[in-house]
Amino acid sequence: MHLTHLSLTDFRSYPRLDLVLEPGVTTFVGSNGQGKTNLIEAIGFVATLGSHRVATDAPLVREGTTQAVVRSRIVRGDRAALVEIQIVPGKANRVRLNRAPVPRARDVAGLLATVLFAPEDLALVKGDPAERRRFLDELLVARSPRMAAVQADYERVLKQRSALLRTAGAARRSGGRGDLRTLDVWDGHLADHGAELLAARLALVEELRPRVRSAYAAVAGEDSPTDVDYRSTVPYRAIPDRTAATGHTDSGIELAPGAPDVSSAPTDQAVGPAPSAGQAEGAEGSDETRPGGRPSRSDLRAELAEAILTGLAAVRSQEIERGVTLVGPHRDDLLLSVKGRPARGYASHGESWSLALALRLASYDLLRADDREPVLLLDDVFAELDVRRRARLAALVAPAEQVLVTAAVEADVPAELAGVRFEVSSGEVRRVG
């Protein structure tokens, strides 16, 4: 998969830009503030319908104008698609595919797969849990676009349920009791959508774990013990089946501190490893229990939904008092460790960068395994790395079908990534090599 054209109209600093791209490595060189990252952002927008830099679309529209347009031509094998996205702040984006209107913008999600490496990636290791949840959810959507709807449904239900909790809390504080019957209904909706999202995340973590270990060793140049696990507020138990020394269960799930204590509650079935991402997200196959006691995808989701309901019931009084939902995927975390210790707070700067890069490289490997060779976007990331990590990262990404690199200093880009070169200055992009 690669891009052959990128056209921008009133996007960020570009009144007008028409860019011809080629497979292989392309480097955009220019001083900071000249518009290099805007190019990467535009390409990422085509892939995800969102920006990695801002939460709303308004900053994407050039100051003094009312809308922006991003056009790109995507080639995959012998097929090509022309995608046009019209960005109008405050309104739904309008999308055309091969010049024909598309009813919903998300219908083009997944046509282009990208993996972005950026300075902000250090937050995947050192930042808040929200950064790691976002990483998992964006990768889920990249692999299966339908997961965007699952996530949207969960967020919608969560917002409504939390509003009801606040109303019930206000009623309690004023001496009333509040009507909790509606809350019971929303509990069921939250459990259903939350179970589907949680099952998909668990399956994804299982697939990421060996790839992150391998990528970390390749980037760091050492085979330090590295692990990836999932910590949840959902009181879901599984048979401990991994090496006892790791302290983890084979489901890849660990209870978060403060999760509801329901250890005395009966469980219908203890389960082993989570199913693959395809099984968790609705791939074709039997719903019968799999050999070795592994649950089918429908069984797993049913068990997770029941666990969410159990957890919600255990903390309802606290939730009403605080006005927030305390149990569910929205409060979970991806646990990263190096040399047996939590990476957040213990890993050195170099180890943290190696782990952040390993997460992105593992994403790249997963998408390739899905037969979705992604476009790699490296936005000024080499400036953050020492010489050895630069060389190792370059060697790992160079074989990709298309690699787009930005750099403020050309010497930061390793020789392994020699290729087409553009100079970016004052919103103009000029090919110089």
- Domain-wise residue ranges, the chain: 2-113+373-431, 141-334
* 390-421 b/e (C-beta count within 10 Å ≥ 16 → b): bbbbbebbbebebbbbbbbeeebbbebbebbb
Query: In this structure, what token pair is assigned to residue 264?
Result: 């005395």
Query: Each residue of 372-383: pLDDT tens digit?
Result: 999 999 999 999
User: Mean per-residue pLDDT for 276-281?
Assistant: 44
User: Mean per-residue pLDDT for 316-341?
Assistant: 94
Q: Is 51 helix (H, G, I), strand (E, B) or coil?
A: coil
Over pLDDT 70: what percentage of the chain? 85
Packing angle between helix 181-220 and helix 129-143, nearest 10 degrees? 90
User: Mean per-residue pLDDT for 226-232?
Assistant: 94
User: Mean per-residue pLDDT for 237-247?
Assistant: 38
- Distance between CA 295 and CA 303 in Å, rounded? 9
Q: How confident is the model at residue 179 (pLDDT cuts 50, 70, 90)?
A: low
269 is in an annotated binding site: no
Which DSSP string do the residues of 200-244 spell out, in sequence order? HHHHHHHHHHHHHHHHHHHHHSS---EEEEEEESS-------S-G
> pTM for the full model?
0.85
pLDDT of residue 264 exceeding 60: no
93 is in an annotated binding site: no
Query: In this structure, what token pair is assigned to residue 42?
Result: 């535009």
- Distance between CA 332 and CA 350 in Å, rounded? 26
pLDDT value at residue 259? 59
Beta bridge partners of 335: 229
- Distance between CA 46 and CA 404 in Å, rounded? 15
Query: Each residue of 20-42: pLDDT tens digit?
Result: 999 999 999 999 989 999 999 99
Query: In this structure, what token pair is assigned to residue 319?
Result: 């939730």
Beta bridge partners of 368: none
33 is in an annotated binding site: yes
C-beta atoms surrounding 299 within 10 Å:
18
CA separation (Å) from 403 to 27, 129, 364, 417? Answer: 8, 29, 12, 9
pLDDT value at residue 250? 39
Residue of higher predicted confidence among 324 and 247: 324
C-beta atoms surrounding 172 within 10 Å:
14
The answer to whether 7 touches 86, Cβ cutoff 8 Å, is no
pLDDT value at residue 109? 80
Lowest-confidence pick of 6-10, 221-225, 360-364, 366-370: 221-225
C-beta atoms surrounding 167 within 10 Å:
16
402 is in an annotated binding site: no
- Distance between CA 299 and CA 115 in Å, rounded? 32
- β-bridge pairing 24-29 and 402-407: parallel
Query: Each residue of 402-412: pLDDT tens digit?
Result: 999 999 999 99
pLDDT value at residue 218? 95
- Sign, CA torsion 416/417/421/424: negative
* Average pLDDT value for the chain: 86
Query: Each residue of 78-130: pLDDT tens digit?
Result: 999 999 999 999 898 899 999 999 988 878 888 999 999 999 999 999 999 99
- CB-based burial label for 249 (10 Å; 0-12, 13-18, 19+): buried
pLDDT of residue 354 exceeding 80: yes
Which DSSP string do the residues of 148-178 spell out, in sequence order? HHHHHHHHHHHHHHHHHHHHHHHHHHTT---
Maximum CA extent, the chain: 74
Which residue from 178, 201, 150, 217 is spatially nearest to 334, judged by alpha carbons? 201
Query: In this structure, what token pair is assigned to residue 13?
Result: 């600093």
Q: How confident is the model at residue 257 (pLDDT cuts 50, 70, 90)?
A: low
34 is in an annotated binding site: yes
pLDDT value at residue 270? 27
User: Mean per-residue pLDDT for 267-278?
Assistant: 36
For tokens 């203890």, the residue is 270
pLDDT value at residue 157? 97
Which residue from 419, 393, 422 is spatially nearest to 406, judged by alpha carbons? 422
Q: Where are the beta strands (DSSP E) in 30-141?
A: 68-76, 79-87, 94-97, 100-102, 114-117
**CATH of range 2-113+373-431; options 3.40.50.300, 3.40.630.10, 1.20.1250.20, 3.40.50.1360:** 3.40.50.300
433 is in an annotated binding site: no
- Thinking of the domain 141-334, which architecture would CATH place it in? Up-down Bundle (1.20)
- Distance between CA 187 and CA 180 in Å, rounded? 10
User: Mean per-residue pLDDT for 280-306?
Assistant: 62
pLDDT value at residue 294? 56
Residue of higher predicted confidence among 266 and 361: 361
C-beta atoms surrounding 282 within 10 Å:
16
37 is in an annotated binding site: yes
339 is in an annotated binding site: no
